[in-house]
Amino acid sequence: MSGFDDIYRENILDHYRNPRNHGTLESPDITYEDANPLCGDLIRMDFKLKDGTIEQVRFSGHGCAISQASASMLCERVEGMALEEAKKIGRDDVLEMLGIELGPVRLKCALLALKTLKAGVYGIQQWPGEEEESTR
Amino acid sequence: MTFVSHRHPAGAGATAPVQTFDPQAVRAQFPIFREPRARPLVYLDSAATSQKPDAVLEAMGRYYSTFNANIHRGIYQIAEEATAAYEDSRRRVARFIHAGSPREVIFTRNSTEALNLVAHSWGRSRLEAGDAIVLTVMEHHSNLVPWQLLASERGIELRFIPVTEGGELDLAALPRLLADGRAKLVSVVHISNVLGTVNPIPEIARQAHAAGAVMVVDASQSVPHCPVDVQALGADFVAFTGHKMLGPTGIGALWGRRSLLEEMPPFLGGGEMIREVKLTGSKWNDLPWKFEAGTMPIAEAVGLGAAVDYLESLGMEAIFTHDRELVAYAMERLREVPDLEILGPPADRRGGVVAFTLDDIHPHDVATVLDADGIALRAGHHCAMPLHERFGIPATARASFYCYTLPEEIDALVKGLHRARQVFAR
Ligand SMILES: Cc1ncc(COP(=O)(O)O)c(C=O)c1O
């Protein structure tokens, strides 16, 4: 089995080809866009909030399969989730959803969606996981 | 090493036998290709950095293990040896680029530092508000950002030679950019690290000089790959970087016209760049040491000297011919891949670089699929975001070649690209 089969698992390709929660929202409560300057990946997320939960979320943008698949998986996961709970999602949760291991460059692709979510909803500007990294 | 004589393929009517080399024999002299691994390394990213031959690594090792000492200071034997080796490298680099004198060759960390040196030292002492700097849309960020910094600090206008759809400079625009006489500096990449385009520097330099501007050349991709004669280029400053020319990282050079360098203030202050220091002022050292503050990367300079020797043993004409044969072959083979689009000019007007897009597959994904086959391909904007914006794409995949690249590696690339299409077929 060669390496790219490891990375481009069927679930990733499936989310990449048929992204869930893809698109934009009419009048979102929050719109946030973030990019990875290294590779030009760009993700925009629109949120509708209600009673402390993420009622609706849609993403758009462009980028590699990893960045787009992780956005799709993340949106699917957080729609309907309490804001308090969504805030707890971290780097490892995203990697677990993707089910792969990634080197430092591709890791940013995988985490762009989560970074966009956290910056948009909670105003947290750091790359997920970077807080831990900086003390090592 | 086997040298075979053959007629120069590009020189119509040329009868002189031209040196050529066997890339397989070259490879054997690079430890990275001898390293046993599950799949052979197919390294197609020499435009980012080149691999290093034994000769370079050995020269650096010899310095550290037999005559490691600081230069220009000690009066004991190994310090003299180290100083001699460092200055000998400078002489070799100077001869390699046909500089008038080794004093015109300043060692820097890389191209980026060489260009920043010009921007700081020449730029800040010569340019003022209302002046203009002419660049191109195909510049690497290192020949763009230093000028942006200077421009915003001084109120200088940046002007850009446009790039045509075919990936060449639109030189018809140049006279207009120079017409008002406000342009005091023109800085252009010799060979584009994305498009491979070989720019007509002598012609640009002629127009720049006629308008009273100095000519700076980013030769990061040309000095490693083709014969470069700084006099014939007609440039005033030429920047290049050691790690792309078989040398180590941490060493590069700026060539400058002596009369300009003499008049320029120092770039960094510290040890070695001074002749005499009083508490409140100093006198500058002579060229080139005026611009080499602090302890320089001595081993790296020695390594660069060895790299120059190695390149000369292959012959720069032969290396360029090899690169161009490979790029012609690559462009022909890449045409077999459906939905693949190549950026830049036809093969006969470019160096050994080819950037492309493959359908709507992100270049990162292309590179990841190829990586699984042991193929090192670059993906991204290659530090040329404005150029990618010009073509309306965020990123490209790029293959680049050197003296150790084999046609079989291009075959492997093409095979991998077909596979990438299969993986992402919707
Ligand atoms: C055209 C060009 N200019 C400048 C540079 C910068 O070289 P360095 O990073 O060694 O300073 C590069 C290489 O990345 C390049 O390709």
Q: Which helix (DSSP H) or strand (DSSP E) does residue B235 occupy?
A: none
pLDDT of residue B347 exceeding 70, the answer is yes
* Of the candidate ranges A124-133, B260-269, B283-292, the one whose mean pLDDT is the lowest: A124-133
Res A4: pLDDT: 56
The CA-to-CA distance between both ends of chain A, in Å, stands at 34
Look at ligand 1, atom 10, and give the residue with the nearest C-alpha: B110
Which residues does chain A have within 8 Å of residue B381's beta carbon, measured at their own beta carbons? 39-40
Q: Which residue is it, tokens 């893809």?
A: A22
Looking at chain B, the whole-number percentage of residues with pLDDT higher than 70 is 96
Residues of chain B with CATH 3.40.640.10: 57-312
Ligand 1 centroid–CA B399 distance in Å is: 16
Res B275: pLDDT: 86
CB B1, CB B313: distance < 8 Å: yes
Res A131: pLDDT: 61
Question: Kind of pairing, strands B378-380 and B340-342?
Answer: unpaired
Cβ atoms within 10 A of the Cβ of B334, count? 19
CB pairs under 8 A between A and B: 56
Structure tokens at B344: 């830049």
| In chain A, where the domains are located | 2-121
Pocket test for ligand 1, best of B115, B137, B188, B193 (most atoms within 8 A of CB): B193
Structure tokens at B250: 């941490």
pLDDT confidence tier of residue B37, bands split at 50, 70 and 90: very high
Calpha distance B94→B20 (Å, rounded): 24
Calpha distance B397→A39 (Å, rounded): 11
Check residues B286 and B308 and name the one with the higher pLDDT.
B308
Looking at chain B, the whole-number percentage of residues with pLDDT higher than 90 is 88
| Class of B2-52+315-423 in CATH | alpha beta
- Residue-wise pLDDT tens digits, B133-159: 999 999 999 999 999 999 999 999 999
Calpha distance B159→B136 (Å, rounded): 8
Res A136: pLDDT: 43
Ligand 1 centroid–CA B386 distance in Å is: 15
pLDDT confidence tier of residue B1, bands split at 50, 70 and 90: very low
Which residues does chain A have within 8 Å of residue B377's beta carbon, measured at their own beta carbons? none
Check residues B144 and B3 and name the one with the higher pLDDT.
B144
* Of the candidate ranges B16-25, B277-286, B344-353, the one whose mean pLDDT is the lowest: B16-25
Q: What is the mean pLDDT of chain B?
A: 94
Q: By 3-state DSSP, what share of chain B in percent is helix, strand and coil, each rounded to 5?
A: 40, 20, 40
Contact call for A65 and B365, based on CB within 8 A: yes
Burial class (CB in 10 A: 0-12, 13-18, 19+), B219: buried
**Whether CATH 3.40.640.10 fits B57-312:** yes
Q: Which residues of A50-62 are buried (b: 16+ CB within 10 A; e: fewer)?
A: eeebbebbbbbbb
Res B9: pLDDT: 42
- Residue-wise pLDDT tens digits, B95-124: 999 999 999 999 999 999 999 999 999 999
Ligand 1 centroid–CA B111 distance in Å is: 6
Residues of chain B with CATH 3.90.1150.10: 2-52+315-423
Q: From the centroid of its chain, how far is CA A96?
A: 12
Q: Which residue is it, tokens 């005559």?
A: B67
Res B12: pLDDT: 42
Using the Cβ of B373 and the Cβ atoms of chain A, whether some distance falls under 8 Å is answered with yes
Average pLDDT over residues B263-283: 88
**Whether CATH 3.90.1010.10 fits A2-121:** yes
Look at ligand 1, atom 7, and give the residue with the nearest C-alpha: B111
Res A2: pLDDT: 45
pLDDT confidence tier of residue B300, bands split at 50, 70 and 90: very high
Average pLDDT over residues B292-302: 96
Calpha distance B237→B230 (Å, rounded): 8
- Residue-wise pLDDT tens digits, B367-413: 999 998 999 999 988 999 999 999 999 899 999 999 999 999 999 99
Using the Cβ of B424 and the Cβ atoms of chain A, whether some distance falls under 8 Å is answered with yes
Closest chain A C-alpha to B382 CA, distance in angstroms: 9
Residue ranges, chain A, pLDDT below 70 = 1-6, 131-136
pLDDT of residue B308 exceeding 60, the answer is yes
pLDDT of residue B43 exceeding 80, the answer is yes
A56 forms beta bridges with A48
- Smallest Cα–Cα separation from A57: which of A12, A14, A22? A22
Res B6: pLDDT: 39
